[in-house]
Amino acid sequence: MKTYISMLRGINVSGQKKIAMSELRKMYDLLELTGAETYVQSGNVVFKSRCSNSAELAKLIENQIEKSFGYQVPVIIREMGDLETVMNKNPFLHKKDIDKDNLYITFFNSIPENLNFADPAFPADGDDTYHLGEKEIYLYCPNGYGRTKLSNNYFERKLKVPATTRNWKTVCALFDIAKNK
């Protein structure tokens, strides 16, 4: 069985799309996704599955969320090894004067087809900087993620793929949970 991390986009934010984590874990059990463990209230779930196709798993979970809770929620999945690779490739970890509390990763559900960061439509938003990964963007937002123009909505609109962002602390915690499964 493989260990996966799923990240749900946009639940339990400002009273929208409320899903209790206990109910979410029960739903994963219903889908025979074993050992579901949640982290914080924003829809981070670490689980095991015999399925080896992340896209199929995401669709399965999305369909069941809509059936169980009545919401359409994008689900982005990474295998544990993929998450470790993403973490190890974070270019900001090797830079001087980086506050890890202001590091974020925006995860995409697939590789965007129209990825062109030379395009002036991608803002150099003040002190905020980014680096492109394969299916993610590494962000450093020294004034906080709440103030950046480089949000999920921005990237989804520009790149035409679902995205969700997690802070560095959450990414590290999810990996720690996954490696102890």
pTM, whole model, 2 decimals? Answer: 0.90
Q: What is the CATH number of the domain that holds 26?
A: 3.30.70.1280
Question: By the 8 A CB rule, do 99 and 24 touch?
Answer: no
CB-based contacts of 147, cutoff 8 Å, min separation 6: 141
103 and 175 inside one domain: yes
| pLDDT averaged over 10-residue windows placed end to end, the chain, 181 residues | 94 82 95 95 93 95 96 95 96 91 94 64 69 90 88 86 94 96 81
Does residue 96 share a domain with residue 69?
no
The confidence score (pLDDT) of residue 67 equals 96
Give the model's pLDDT for residue 127: 84
- Number of structural domains (the chain) is 2
Q: For residue 117, what is the domain's CATH number?
A: 3.30.70
Q: What pLDDT was estimated at residue 120? A: 46
Q: Are residues 111 and 64 in the same domain?
A: no
Distance of alpha carbon 166 from alpha carbon 104, whole angstroms: 6
Provide the 3-class DSSP secondary structure of residue 107: strand
